[in-house]
Chain A
Amino acid sequence: MSAGDALAKVHFRVAAAFLVVGAVAGLLLAVELSATNFLNSGILSYGRLQPVFTGALLFGWITVGFVGAIYYLLPRLTGAPLQNQPLARISLLLLAGGTLVGLVTVALGENQGLPLFEFPFYVDLVLVVGLAGVTRVVTAAAIAHREPHVYISVWFFVAAVWWLLFAYLVGSLSWFQGVDLELANRFAEAGVLFLWVIPAGLGVVYYLIPKLTDSPLYSTRLAVVSFWAVAGTFVWLGASSFTFGPGPDWLETVNVAFAIGTLVPAMAVVANLLLSVNWPMARGSAAFRFAVAGTGFFALLTLQILALAFRASSSVVQFTTWTEATFIISVVGAGSLWLMALLSHLRGGGDESYWLVTVGLVLLVGTLWLGGLLAGFTWLGSLENYGEGFVNTTGQLAGFDTVRWIAWALLAAGLVLFALKTIGGGRWDFSEIGPPSSGTGAGEPGALSPGRLAAAAVLIIGVAFLTTVLIPALDSSDEQPTLRAISTRDYEAFENGEAIPLATEVLSELGLDPVRVAEGRHVYVAEGCVYCHTQQVRANVADVGLDAVTMPGDVMLNAPALLGRVRLGPDLAHAGQRPFTDDVAWVANHLADPQRQRNWSSMPSYDYLADDELEALAQYIVSLQ
């Protein structure tokens, strides 16, 4: 086994350890939805566990695992051994260590209010340095290729590491505010999900399917088409989950157009792989089945994105459990299955995990989609969409919650079983690298060199960043904050007298203390309340019962904007205007023991917070006018 392979193996084992954490967190989250106060002791509360779940799977399992896969595959595809291995080792240490520290901080209650990018800034810094190291190693290895033909997997790997680095940088930036920050966050989210997990996985699967079935790829040209189609469409989908939001309207139209465009990569990939398979050769291998199932989930992703982007379907499924399926399909579906295909190829076995994981995933996505549709249509038919009215629309979903944790039990069992076998070792079959061919490394005439490819990848994501984040941000610079933007960046601003005087006046009229409101807002962010509550009223028929529509000025100066993505609980945009939630004492009691005053509430108890924090949080909620 070469030194590069040994390095890959360490990556696989570290990734598998994070997979155990992510799978258990996912199962706990599903159980907590059915059994409200199950294990609800601070670090395992729903709002803190959610970022542990996404962080462990996305950065621990998928990222470290795919980096290992790239280190394993690149020498085989380029005919050149991996250079600069010390840097690769340091990068692994930074990635794994940073993710671990990040998971601990969010579990201790230090969320940033930015889904997928919840880690504190010092962890962001460590991860960015680690990702930069990976990017350097991978790009250098691809440039040093000896094979004259730059195989399509190499294209995907080189572009994907640059996209990940760029997306993570944007996701951890903190100089945006309000809607602009929300747009940057969604751009970065689309970047890591669609431009890192998907292309890195496609690189693996373009290698694996021909390798496992012993037949060449059906068409290299089609694979090149799929590469440019992935690069050209997914990069624009940042705000596709932001339909009817306070972002620019033209951006929503752009998102729909590119969501339609994702049909091209989906068709190109699926057709190419299916036509490549030499079916008699393909039977009986778990690795092959993992690869095909992962490709199936990649195809489903198009449906997921289209449903959220189109306005007509979005007014039904947005904010429902349908929204949650994006992460499940891209990371737990496509990405994990593809990575497991490679691991299963390298060490054999995996049949039991295959069935547990795929049955669990199909059941889970089915539950999220059907439950989302049902909830969405009920919301459309109900004008009283808060308080007991909200519960009446969601009470019928209890059955879906049950199916959800059963699905997660199967899924988690399969994932943990697979991870334990990967950590435990056994015999790995890293077949020897063949003799490099006699090419000069000059490449074929007309082919793109890896260096230029990296430049093109950065250019593409840079243009998308400019268009979908920077231009809207500059465009909104003449907006004025409205009275609703009363909770500003942090309470230090109040102490320094920088708060809007009008806002302070409004808060005093409500009997609230601006400093306490800002402290409460910090608690709201840190406890991950945003994972169940939106603060966003859309300009569509589903939200008419929720009063004034959210405008850009309503969240100006707010960082994070806390607009939210999912309504497992009622919308809080105007909580302070409603009966009961306009009273600080009532809200504080409700947070401490939600079922006492509202026996139908599915919110977990927050009695693990200090009374002082609860009171501040209650002041903040009442301040939401």
Chain B
Amino acid sequence: MDFEQLLAAASSALSAPSEIVGRSARARATAEGVGPEQILARWAGVDADATSAAPAAPPAAVEAAPAAAPVEAAAPPQAQELDVEVVAPMSEERPEPEPEPAPEPEPEQVLVGSAGIEVTKRQSLPKWLAASFFVVPLVALFYVASFASGPQCGNGGALAIDPVTGVAENCDGSEYGSLGGNVLEQGAALYLAEALPSCQACHGAEGGGGTGPALAGGAVVETFPACADHILWVALGTSGWRGERGDTYGAQAKPVGGGGIMPSYEAAGLTPEEIAAVVLFERVSFGGQDAAAAEADCFPDEEGAEAAP
């Protein structure tokens, strides 16, 4: 490659105007006593291995110190504010290196240590970087302020613990896995759930019936005046009921299977509490029962609810 090609390659590699690169290369070549082509080839990365393997320390010390001097001498007060982005990282190509070192190398911009390592004294950082150093601690502070009192129950999968027994419990202090809280809402959610053999698919979202009998308009309470029977019916389904209670169900002694096949929700994996919650929802929303009375009927007490089915 001739001088022009190398010059073009080097100036694109260093992303600097070609006249500056050419001028510094010639100056550098004079200082090192080699041809300017060699310097350009090194900057262009054409022959990088040979040069970067053993960067000699003493020449680096000689060349960078004088480079800094003229700039400093010209405008020392502004040096602090100057953004030296172009000049500092590429100290080697700064123009007009003088043969003898400057008497007082000012350490403002480039220092050269005895190991040949240069140190820049850059004053400004990229804005995004500087900003993030304030944003990150703010986020951390915000986190501490939000969760000052430790893990909140329900946050990130945390549970409450009974301090005496060490047993995990629901956030409202009820037994873990029990429905706790608003049973009626839980029952509604279960009635509308798609994943189970869905209640609403056969009985309708409003309880109006479909494949299965209608529940709305008090029909469900007429069939099952006692909540316990209602719960047992839902838990067992048609085939289970037939085995345990015979061929008829409900106050009107309807034939089992006459209204279609009812699946067993015990077999579907609902807990007794969950079944009772669905039943409660049906009796209040479709059967028109008073919520408090129905709850007393379907959840007589902790033990009663478990014994019922």
Are the C-beta atoms of A542 and B157 separated by less than 8 Å?
yes
Are the C-beta atoms of B140 and A434 separated by less than 8 Å?
no
Q: Which residue of A lies closest to B54 (CB)?
A: A431
A402 interfacial contact with B, CB 8 Å: no
A322 interfacial contact with B, CB 8 Å: no
A424 interfacial contact with B, CB 8 Å: no
A207-B117, A254-B144 are known contacts. Are A216 and B91 too (CB-CB below 8 A)? yes
Q: Which residue of A lies closest to B159 (CB)?
A: A539
Across the interface, A540 reaches (CB within 8 A) one of B61, B143, B159, namely B159
B300 interfacial contact with A, CB 8 Å: no
A225-B133, A253-B150, A541-B159 are known contacts. Are A215 and B89 too (CB-CB below 8 A)? yes
Q: Give A244 to B89 CA distance when docked, in angstroms.
A: 48
Are the C-beta atoms of B166 and A551 separated by less than 8 Å?
yes
A258-B140, A544-B176 are known contacts. Are A253 and B120 too (CB-CB below 8 A)? no
Task: Report the minimum CB–CB distance from B182 to chain A (whole Å).
Answer: 20
Chain B interface: which size bin? 35 or more
Instruction: Tell which of B19-27, B106-114, B219-227, B244-252 binds the partner.
Output: B106-114
B78 interfacial contact with A, CB 8 Å: no
Task: Report the minimum CB–CB distance from B50 to chain A (whole Å).
Answer: 10
B88 interfacial contact with A, CB 8 Å: yes
User: Which chain B residues border A249 with CB–CB below 8 Å?
Assistant: 149-151
Q: Which residue of B lies closest to A311 (CB)?
A: B156
B86 interfacial contact with A, CB 8 Å: no
User: Which chain B residues border A548 with CB–CB below 8 Å?
Assistant: 165-167
Are the C-beta atoms of B125 and A219 separated by less than 8 Å?
yes
User: Which chain A residues border B75 with CB–CB below 8 Å?
Assistant: none
Are the C-beta atoms of A218 and B89 separated by less than 8 Å?
yes
B14 interfacial contact with A, CB 8 Å: yes
Instruction: Tell which of A146-154, A155-163, A405-413 binds the partner.
Output: A146-154
B17 interfacial contact with A, CB 8 Å: no
B253 interfacial contact with A, CB 8 Å: no
Across the interface, A256 reaches (CB within 8 A) one of B43, B88, B143, B165, namely B143
A250 interfacial contact with B, CB 8 Å: yes
Are the C-beta atoms of A219 and B120 separated by less than 8 Å?
yes
A210-B117, A216-B117, A260-B143 are known contacts. Are A315 and B52 too (CB-CB below 8 A)? no
Are the C-beta atoms of A433 and B122 separated by less than 8 Å?
no
Across the interface, B168 reaches (CB within 8 A) one of A218, A312, A549, namely A549
Q: Give residues 81-117 of B contacting A (CB, 8 Å).
A: 88-91, 107, 110-117
Are the C-beta atoms of B107 and A148 separated by less than 8 Å?
yes
Across the interface, A222 reaches (CB within 8 A) one of B90, B125, B156, namely B125
Give 1 or 0 for each of B46-78: 1 = CB within 8 Å of chain A CB.
001100111111100100000000000000000
A549-B161, A551-B166 are known contacts. Are A211 and B55 too (CB-CB below 8 A)? yes
Task: Report the minimum CB–CB distance from B65 to chain A (whole Å).
Answer: 9
B268 interfacial contact with A, CB 8 Å: no
Are the C-beta atoms of A79 and B126 separated by less than 8 Å?
no
Are the C-beta atoms of B158 and A79 separated by less than 8 Å?
no
User: Which chain B residues border A385 with CB–CB below 8 Å?
Assistant: none
A448 interfacial contact with B, CB 8 Å: no
Q: Give A611 to B110 CA distance when docked, in angstroms.
A: 72
Task: Report the minimum CB–CB distance from B224 to chain A (whole Å).
Answer: 32
Are the C-beta atoms of B129 and A429 separated by less than 8 Å?
no
Q: Which residue of A lies closest to B10 (CB)?
A: A280
Are the C-beta atoms of B132 and A267 separated by less than 8 Å?
yes
Give 1 or 0 for each of A252-264: 1 = CB within 8 Å of chain B CB.
1110111011011
User: Which chain B residues border A261 with CB–CB below 8 Å?
Assistant: 136-137, 140
Task: Report the minimum CB–CB distance from B139 to chain A (whole Å).
Answer: 6
Across the interface, A314 reaches (CB within 8 A) one of B123, B156, B160, namely B156
Q: Give A278 to B91 CA distance when docked, in angstroms.
A: 12
Are the C-beta atoms of B45 and A283 separated by less than 8 Å?
yes
The tally of residues in A whose CB lies under 8 Å from a CB in B reads: 80
B29 interfacial contact with A, CB 8 Å: no
Are the C-beta atoms of B150 and A260 separated by less than 8 Å?
no
Task: Report the minimum CB–CB distance from A292 to chain B (whole Å).
Answer: 15
Task: Report the minimum CB–CB distance from A2 to chain B (whole Å).
Answer: 13
Which of A263, A268, A434 gathers the greatest number of chain B CB atoms within 10 Å? Answer: A434
Task: Report the minimum CB–CB distance from A250 to chain B (whole Å).
Answer: 6
Across the interface, B114 reaches (CB within 8 A) one of A268, A278, A436, namely A436
Q: Which residue of B lies closest to A285 (CB)?
A: B52
Q: Give A282 to B125 CA distance when docked, in angstroms.
A: 23
Across the interface, A252 reaches (CB within 8 A) one of B13, B116, B117, B150, namely B150
Are the C-beta atoms of B117 and A310 separated by less than 8 Å?
no
Q: Give A157 to B144 CA distance when docked, in angstroms.
A: 32
Across the interface, A280 reaches (CB within 8 A) one of B43, B114, B126, B157, namely B43
Q: Give A285 to B53 CA distance when docked, in angstroms.
A: 8
A352 interfacial contact with B, CB 8 Å: no
Q: Which residue of A lies closest to B9 (CB)?
A: A280
User: Which chain B residues border A436 with CB–CB below 8 Å?
Assistant: 114
B121 interfacial contact with A, CB 8 Å: yes
Q: Give A214 to B93 CA distance when docked, in angstroms.
A: 13
User: Which chain B residues border A149 with CB–CB below 8 Å?
Assistant: 107, 111, 113, 119
Are the C-beta atoms of A312 and B157 separated by less than 8 Å?
yes
Give 1 or 0 for each of A113-136: 1 = CB within 8 Å of chain B CB.
000000000000000000000000
User: Which chain A residues border B166 with CB–CB below 8 Å?
Assistant: 482, 548-551, 554
Are the C-beta atoms of B48 and A281 separated by less than 8 Å?
yes
Are the C-beta atoms of A280 and B44 separated by less than 8 Å?
yes
Q: Give A541 to B113 CA distance when docked, in angstroms.
A: 58
A425 interfacial contact with B, CB 8 Å: no
A76 interfacial contact with B, CB 8 Å: yes
Q: Give A528 to B89 CA distance when docked, in angstroms.
A: 53
Q: Give residues 295-332 of A contacting B (CB, 8 Å).
A: 310-315
Q: Which residue of A lies closest to B153 (CB)?
A: A539
B293 interfacial contact with A, CB 8 Å: no
Are the C-beta atoms of B157 and A315 separated by less than 8 Å?
yes
Give 1 or 0 for each of A430-474: 1 = CB within 8 Å of chain B CB.
011111110000001000000000000000000000000000000
A220 interfacial contact with B, CB 8 Å: yes
Are the C-beta atoms of B156 and A214 separated by less than 8 Å?
no
Task: Report the minimum CB–CB distance from A243 to chain B (whole Å).
Answer: 8
Task: Report the minimum CB–CB distance from B66 to chain A (whole Å).
Answer: 14
Q: Give A437 to B62 CA distance when docked, in angstroms.
A: 11
Q: Give A210 to B139 CA distance when docked, in angstroms.
A: 33
Give 1 or 0 for each of B138-177: 1 = CB within 8 Å of chain A CB.
0111011001111100011111110101111000000011
Are the C-beta atoms of B122 and A218 separated by less than 8 Å?
yes
Are the C-beta atoms of B129 and A278 separated by less than 8 Å?
no
A506 interfacial contact with B, CB 8 Å: no
Task: Report the minimum CB–CB distance from B296 to chain A (whole Å).
Answer: 30
A183 interfacial contact with B, CB 8 Å: no
Task: Report the minimum CB–CB distance from B107 to chain A (whole Å).
Answer: 7
Q: Give A260 to B119 CA distance when docked, in angstroms.
A: 30
A212 interfacial contact with B, CB 8 Å: yes
B118 interfacial contact with A, CB 8 Å: yes
Are the C-beta atoms of B125 and A544 separated by less than 8 Å?
no
Are the C-beta atoms of B48 and A539 separated by less than 8 Å?
no
Q: Which residue of A lies closest to B167 (CB)?
A: A548
Q: Which residue of B lies closest to A251 (CB)?
A: B150
Q: Give A294 to B117 CA distance when docked, in angstroms.
A: 21
Q: Give A109 to B307 CA distance when docked, in angstroms.
A: 54
Are the C-beta atoms of A433 and B125 separated by less than 8 Å?
no
Q: Give A433 to B58 CA distance when docked, in angstroms.
A: 9
Task: Report the minimum CB–CB distance from A341 to chain B (whole Å).
Answer: 14
User: Which chain B residues border A252 with CB–CB below 8 Å?
Assistant: 150-151
Are the C-beta atoms of B136 and A264 separated by less than 8 Å?
yes
User: Which chain A residues border B61 with CB–CB below 8 Å?
Assistant: 434-435, 437
Q: Give A432 to B115 CA distance when docked, in angstroms.
A: 9
User: Which chain B residues border A311 with CB–CB below 8 Å?
Assistant: 151, 155-158
**Interchain Cβ contacts under 8 Å between A and B, 15 examples:** A218-B122, A248-B150, A249-B150, A250-B148, A252-B151, A253-B143, A257-B140, A257-B141, A267-B129, A276-B89, A311-B151, A434-B116, A435-B58, A539-B168, A543-B168
Interface pairs A-B: 5 shortest CB-CB: A249-B150, A311-B156, A280-B45, A312-B156, A76-B115
Q: Give 9 new A-B contacts, CB below 8 A, not counting A146-B114, A151-B117.
A: A76-B114, A77-B115, A218-B89, A257-B143, A260-B139, A264-B132, A278-B90, A435-B58, A540-B157
